[in-house]
Amino acid sequence: MHSVLSSWCFFVGLICYYELMKQNKKWFIKKRGSYLPKTWAGGLLYFIYLAYIVWILVYVMISNYNFWPAVYVLVPNWIAACIAMSWVASRKS
């Protein structure tokens, strides 16, 4: 289930990104070191990003992981998602 939702979020985000790259609008506004969505495309991408972050947290909480295996699942996924979101937001701001 985890991999299906992760793949779905990734592909929806990727499709939105490539379909909307043709537009020269700024999707995000840089605000105090982070990016806030400015258009509906930025809002949609931000929603998918937040859904992925929450899903990883829920997945770790409902799984029977001990502390360190949970950290090994949670931290790399969050770091990868944050880097990907920051990269897309910096390119479209």
8-47 confidence digits (pLDDT tens): 666 666 666 666 666 667 888 888 888 888 888 888 888 9
Count of structural domains within the chain: 1
Pairwise CA distance, residues 50 & 82, whole Å: 10
Greatest CA separation for the chain? 46
- Residue from 59, 64, 77, 46 nearest 2 by CA: 59
The answer to pTM > 0.85 is no
Pairwise CA distance, residues 89 & 34, whole Å: 9
Q: What is the pLDDT of residue 29?
A: 85
Residue 34, phi then psi, degrees to nearest 5: -130, 180
SS3 assignment, position 25: coil
Question: 73 falls in which pLDDT band (50, 70, 90)?
Answer: confident
Domain that holds residue 60: 2-91
